[in-house]
Amino acid sequence: AQSVSQHNHHVILSEAASLELGCNYSYGGTVNLFWYVQYPGQHLQLLLKYFSGDPLVKGIKGFEAEFIKSKFSFNLRKPSVQWSDTAEYFCASFGGSQGNLIFGKGTKLSVKP
């Protein structure tokens, strides 16, 4: 079965630090990849998505992600985090025989002011 792995359970950074959250997916065929964010007490919102084309994808709020097919990875990055980025981040993949979006377990990001 397809799976999505997020390597970090909880990341703590100071404001202005750079962020990279790891994500690996298991399906070897064509996949659509997503990063969602869940701010405290809120629902999941889309940060960015990759379907095809340029493997460097830019999303909202200064986030970007790079699709590396050979590594089955889709890591999320931000050059300089802010306190308002404190949230939980979920990587997800859609593709293959499964008709539903598969989520990773999520990474909690805490940004210290």
Partner 1 sequence: DSGVTQTPKHLITATGQRVTLRCSPRSGDLSVYWYQQSLDQGLQFLIQYYNGEERAKGNILERFSAQQFPDLHSELNLSSLELGDSALYFCASSDNTGELFFGEGSRLTVL
Which residue number, 102 or 111, has a Cβ lying nearer to partner 1?
Answer: 102
Between the two ends of the chain, the Cα-to-Cα distance in Å is: 41
Q: Which of 40, 53, 99, 113 binds partner 1 (CB under 8 A)?
A: 99
C-alpha torsion sign, points 3, 73, 104, 42: negative
Is residue 6 within 8 Å of 21, Cβ to Cβ? Answer: yes
Sign of the four-CA dihedral 52, 20, 97, 105? negative
Is 34 among the residues that bind partner 1 (CB under 8 A)? yes
CB nearer partner 1, residue 51 or residue 83: 51
Distance from chain centroid for Cα 86: 14
Q: Does 51 bind partner 1 (CB under 8 A)?
A: yes
82 part of the interface to partner 1, by CB under 8 A: no
Residues at the interface with partner 1 (CB under 8 A): 32, 34, 36, 42-46, 49, 51, 90, 92, 94-95, 98-103, 105-106
